[in-house]
């Protein structure tokens, strides 16, 4: 067996991935664990999360379940990390919600609620995690999961688009502020991935025809194809990348 590639080696790192019970969150958690990190997976459904973590542990990964609502009190979510390690080296904020409704059908209250969940809660978690991030001996990495729906728009998705655009702006602001402390803050902006959240669109012939014409790779992304981006930004390979949104969309955002 050859030597581990040092640039992408995460051995000794402590990581937290929110919204990691399935989909892209689980794929990123799996990739970080495969690179050697001890990964705490967060999800609201404790029973299902426990089963997922047990499966990863059976594969030989160093993982732990951290059940709870990522939009709830962040101190409560972070308490087990404080007790176990006293530090956090990699924070991946992936938990988010979506409310696909046209303007006429989307009350202002629902719009505000999505901004609280997708933007304000992310800010609150990063802020609450600062003592743990500052304790990292490696230079902490914060990764917020945005979307191509931030810079790009589609009808009937105003709240989600606004929230992801706001999250991308937050990444830049935090990168400038925390960079002086040796931390990096970046975003991963996924395109169209074949996840449970996109089941309806995945089986819509019109959506598939549009993707085939718009995406240069002419297919949906597979969840496991997001993991490498997370490992890159969390590892020594991404040490000088700061305030950047890494787009993983098969080329959709540069095609017309």
Give the pair of three-digit tokens for residue 121: 């809660």
Contact present, 249 and 221 (Cβ < 8 Å):
yes
d(CA 217, CA 221): 9
Based on its alpha-carbon atoms, the radius of gyration of the chain, rounded to whole angstroms, reads 18
d(CA 186, CA 195): 23
Contacts of 152 (CB under 8 A, 6+ apart): 161, 253
Element housing 42 (H / E): strand 38-43
Give the pair of three-digit tokens for residue 33: 């664990």
d(CA 30, CA 57): 10
Active-site hit among 11, 123, 160, 240: 160
d(CA 186, CA 173): 10
d(CA 203, CA 102): 21
Distances (CA, A) of 169 to 55, 98, 166, 225, 244: 36, 19, 5, 25, 10
The distance in angstroms from the start CA to the end CA of the chain is 45
Catalytic site residue 11?
no
The residues that are catalytic are 160
């Amino acid at each position: 067996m050859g030597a581990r590639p040092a640039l992408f080696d995460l051995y000794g790192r402590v990581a937290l991935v929110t919204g990691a019970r399935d989909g892209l969150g689980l794929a990123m958690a799996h990739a970080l664990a495969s690179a050697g990190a001890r990964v705490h997976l967060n999800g609201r459904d404790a029973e299902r999360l426990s089963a997922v973590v047990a499966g990863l542990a059976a594969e030989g990964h160093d993982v732990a379940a951290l059940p709870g609502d990522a939009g709830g009190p962040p101190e409560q979510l972070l308490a087990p990390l404080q007790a176990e390690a006293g530090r956090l080296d990699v924070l991946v904020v992936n938990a988010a919600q979506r409310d696909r409704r046209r303007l006429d059908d989307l009350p202002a209250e629902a719009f505000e609620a999505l901004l609280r969940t997708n933007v304000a809660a992310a800010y609150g978690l990063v802020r609450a995690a600062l003592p743990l991030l500052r304790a990292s001996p490696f230079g902490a990495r914060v990764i917020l999961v945005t979307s191509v729906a931030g810079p790009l728009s589609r009808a009937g998705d105003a709240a989600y688009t606004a929230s992801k655009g706001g999250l991308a702006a937050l990444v830049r602001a935090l990168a400038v502020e925390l960079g002086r402390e040796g931390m990096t803050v970046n975003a991963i902006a996924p395109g169209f991935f074949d996840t449970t959240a996109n089941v309806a669109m995945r089986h819509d012939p019109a959506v598939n025809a549009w993707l085939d014409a718009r995406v240069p790779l002419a297919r949906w992304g597979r969840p496991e194809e997001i993991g490498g981006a997370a490992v890159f930004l969390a590892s020594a390979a991404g040490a000088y990348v700061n305030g950047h949104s890494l787009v993983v969309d098969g080329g959709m955002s540069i095609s017309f």
